[in-house]
A and B are shown apart, each in its own frame.
Chain A
């Protein structure tokens, strides 16, 4: 199994530019999560999808952030325009969601974003 795949692994951009992060979940998984990790705030859940439908986006910091999941094997997180305070590591995770609960989330390697 290839695991969760994220691209790019590193991104350096200038303030005001658009940034698009990409994620391919594990095949067969039906839930997808986007997290942000910073030293100051730790790991924060930004948004998650079930069966390609956004369920909870209450963690998205502001309107500059948007996420889509057009199909079961691909998701994007877009920041437009980017700001220096968006610099962080962004993780994508996926799980096989069932009614039982307690499912394991499998994390990708992350995208390290630096906004200058």
Chain B
């Protein structure tokens, strides 16, 4: 079975400051990794995902994440945040073997951007 731990439930940041949202996972098999964003009163939207190749993955809205297999981490970063980045962010994993479809989500990190 897989599990995902998002180390911070809330992260307050000032506008234009950098931010890192931390995600660690546990799995006995190889996994694919995802970051989703949920804006207030909306559904989840994919920010980025890691399937293979370069461990640094770039996503939408200036976000990027780095897969670290030895540390079983997939932290999300943005060098300069905007008010519009205020949202909840979810890390998720899925086994990489054929046929796997069940995403396992972390509990989410609420990112609040202060002016």
What is the size category of the interface that chain B forms with chain A? 20 to 34
Contact B101 A42 (CB under 8 A): no
Once bound together, how far apart are the Cα atoms of A108 and B105, in whole Å? 17
A-B CB pair tally, cutoff 8 Å: 57
B107 CB contact (under 8 Å) in A31, A42, A105: A42
Interface locus among B10-18, B19-27, B74-82, B90-98: B90-98
Contact A91 B44 (CB under 8 A): yes
Contact B101 A110 (CB under 8 A): no
Interface of A is mostly: strand
Which residues in B have some Cβ–Cβ distance to A below 8 Å? Answer: 32, 34, 36, 41-46, 49, 51, 90, 94, 96-103, 105-108
Once bound together, how far apart are the Cα atoms of A48 and B105, in whole Å? 16
Interface of B is mostly: loop
Interface locus among A13-21, A66-74, A80-88, A94-102: A94-102
- Judge if A43 is at the interface, Cβ distance under 8 Å: yes
Once bound together, how far apart are the Cα atoms of A104 and B46, in whole Å? 7
Residue interface mask A32-76, B partner, CB < 8 A = 1: 010000000011010010100001100000000000000000000
Contact B99 A107 (CB under 8 A): no
Minimum C-beta distance from A24 to chain B (A) = 13
Q: List 19 A-B contacts (CB under 8 A).
A: A42-B105, A42-B107, A42-B108, A43-B44, A48-B102, A50-B101, A91-B44, A93-B43, A93-B44, A95-B101, A101-B98, A101-B99, A102-B32, A102-B96, A104-B46, A104-B49, A105-B103, A107-B45, A109-B42
Which residues in A have some Cβ–Cβ distance to B below 8 Å? Answer: 4, 31, 33, 42-43, 45, 48, 50, 55-56, 91, 93, 95, 97, 99, 101-110
Q: Which of A56, A102, A105, A106 has the most CB of B within 10 A?
A: A102
Once bound together, how far apart are the Cα atoms of A1 and B45, in whole Å? 15
**Contact partners of A108 in chain B: CB under 8 A:** 43
Sample of 17 further A-B pairs with CB below 8 A, known A50-B101, A105-B46, A108-B43: A4-B43, A31-B101, A42-B107, A42-B108, A43-B90, A45-B102, A48-B102, A55-B101, A56-B101, A95-B101, A99-B99, A101-B94, A101-B98, A101-B99, A105-B103, A107-B45, A109-B43
